[in-house]
Structure 1
């Protein structure tokens, strides 16, 4: 329907998340991302998936063939683009395909440029999608409850480091049904380390969780039904007055954004400013974006 609407005969996709969504397939070629290295070329009669054929077992190959999906080796994509008939029109997203690939097209092939239809389609969660995400969040929440129960019992009784936090939280997630992997390297950061975006503790450099302060935990899991990204901040001992003030400023920002009513289609920086306004009012700011999507 999208090809017809755009007046295109063919559609070429080079973005891995769009391909994974469109074919409902998952892989493990990129760390923490359930995607596989591939290309797709589609017209009204056929869909061709270009992937290293050794990754596709006989059962999956049979399912894809029943759905009318032709498999070709990943290395054959240039030849396939060269086979697009002269005079045909090809829909592409210019921001998501390289010029080198498009140079394989015949000179008479017309490019129809625009967003891949899958980009918007996969952002609109169906009721089934939403239910899968809810189940993933429930399992992840159970893992967090197990972890925090351990943390409460272990504080003051055993040596805990940022690395220990990572180990115990990962182990709790691993025990949940449908768990696949982490969705990114766990960030467990105590006091000053928590002020560094995307901090990661190492064997050589990490903090021991002791004394007073704030423990930041930013972590997530990949489950068969969805992906989680969870941030929690835990007081250890007695936080300082400055830390209490910072937590209050952040809470005010959360409340301001939660209460905001805004028009459909508003640009996200305008909402970002609502979240920052109570923090700016006290002459401070934070060097990071505000939030991101779920799913």
Structure 2
């Protein structure tokens, strides 16, 4: 691979890049690659067998005149082959590659991550398990047109390809974003359990504040303990953001054993957390009042709530994207010349990544090709906020399911069904700012 640098004074420098491990010489104590035991995800939780998913992908390949499809993204592989693992913290995926052809499909796994029963089960789906490293040799033998996402392939594998590359988003991205009826049913059940855990936590927090010592780490652990009491809980879906007062102004702050704050004054506590359950993945944020807060803090909290509810209650015609609706959540902040410097929401996987595309809510597009239409069956978070550096941060987040509404001469109307059922802290609301509809949710 050749990279060319051009400078102002007509000087050009060409570098020939070879495939090499740039860190090998310096990272001498590098740990071994993770190789945890993987498992086959039962159809009772996901509702669609592997061969049926592959059939959908093959149809897409045929429509795009592709003879093979290389998959390198772990969430796409996990979804397609109904396999889960523990190689990535908080994301139940297994280190793997995959190759789909019209003859057979191949799943490349590390020895030790699978057993004979898994091999036999996958064979029934016309899937052959091969060694993790074999993908590099197999890639060299591919001919014709190969579908892959260039943005998600390592250079060593890219170098092996001597065929025509069709650079597209993996078709499984959109397929897995639209949840089927079995996934939806299970996900609703997971959210009810998660709501129980978070409501118990809210009661514990309000009852014990000022009576027992609290800090961001101990409170984070308490959230986890309530989730661990729920059936089919596996692990958190991401590192819990537990942020007290001005720490919450840092949108992705999280405490560590080396750096955390005590919770011992009046203020607001922001907790963004989620769980991986066998029947689904959750993501929720609540901001809690502990002690006394100012009128302006209540105003800002209520503005965030107004934005969250405006988006949650949206009715819209099929064809809208997340960009079309993002302003609904931002309007209360924009009306006061405020903004939050991030997206308003993201898709969520099903026992997969808590951040899943391609659907999202954001008014600034990062990639025009991924400004996808919102489809019934997509779930997506709704999480506006206000973040004032050195003062406080407020975020309220519900997870929503896109569902069909009325169909008439104007087209198919859609709306959102809340998946998250956890109380909002009423101590933070200026009720006079809410109309009757928002007061009842």
Same fold (TM over 0.5): yes
Name 2:62's counterpart in structure 1. 4
Equivalent in 229, 235, 238 of residue 175 of structure 1: 229
Question: CA shift at 1:16, angstroms?
Answer: 0.9
Report if aligned partners of 2:177, 2:347 keep a CA contact under 8 Å in 1.
no
Q: Distance in 1 between matches of 2:250 and 2:185?
A: 34
Q: Distance in 1 between matches of 2:84 and 2:210?
A: 43
Question: CA shift at 1:130, angstroms?
Answer: 0.5
Question: CA shift at 1:41, angstroms?
Answer: 0.8
- Give the helix-richer structure, 1 or 2: 1
Name 1:102's counterpart in structure 2. 158
Name 2:84's counterpart in structure 1. 26
Q: Secondary structure at the match of 2:151?
A: helix
Name 1:246's counterpart in structure 2. 300
Q: Deviations over 1:135-188 (max 9, x none)?
A: 111111121122223223322221111111111111111121111111111111
Mean CA deviation greater in 223-232 or 276-285? 276-285
Question: CA shift at 1:294, angstroms?
Answer: 3.1
Name 1:143's counterpart in structure 2. 197
Count of matched residue positions in the alignment of Structure 1 and Structure 2: 291
Equivalent in 32, 40, 45 of residue 98 of structure 2: 40
Question: CA shift at 1:271, angstroms?
Answer: 2.5
Question: CA shift at 1:195, angstroms?
Answer: 1.1
Summarize the Cα distance change of 1:184–1:258 in structure 2 as closer, same or farther, 3 Å threshold.
Answer: closer
Report if aligned partners of 1:186, 1:217 keep a CA contact under 8 Å in 2.
yes
Q: Secondary structure at the match of 2:83?
A: coil
Gaps of 5+ in 1: none
Question: CA shift at 1:209, angstroms?
Answer: 2.1
RMSD of the alignment, in Å?
Answer: 1.8
Equivalent in 219, 224, 227 of residue 281 of structure 2: 227
Q: Deviations over 1:58-87 (max 9, x none)?
A: 221221122221111111111011122x4x
Name 1:284's counterpart in structure 2. 338
Gaps of 5+ in 2: 1-58, 350-441
Report if aligned partners of 1:210, 1:236 keep a CA contact under 8 Å in 2.
no
Alignment of 1:9-158 (within 5 A): 9-84=67-142, 86=143, 88-106=144-162, 109-158=163-212
Q: Deviations over 1:109-158 (max 9, x none)?
A: 33233222211110111111111111111111121122223223322221
Q: Distance in 2 between matches of 1:149 and 1:114?
A: 48
Question: CA shift at 1:105, angstroms?
Answer: 2.7
Summarize the Cα distance change of 1:252–1:149 in structure 2 as closer, same or farther, 3 Å threshold.
Answer: closer
Q: Secondary structure at the match of 2:243?
A: strand
Q: Distance in 1 between matches of 2:309 and 2:277?
A: 30
Question: CA shift at 1:25, angstroms?
Answer: 0.3
Report if aligned partners of 1:272, 1:290 keep a CA contact under 8 Å in 2.
yes
Report if aligned partners of 1:53, 1:72 keep a CA contact under 8 Å in 2.
no
Question: CA shift at 1:40, angstroms?
Answer: 0.7
Which of the pair has the greater relative contact order for Cα pairs under 8 Å at 6+ separation?
A: 2
Report if aligned partners of 2:97, 2:109 keep a CA contact under 8 Å in 1.
yes
Taking structure 1 as the reference length, the TM-score comes to: 0.92
Report if aligned partners of 2:206, 2:290 keep a CA contact under 8 Å in 1.
no
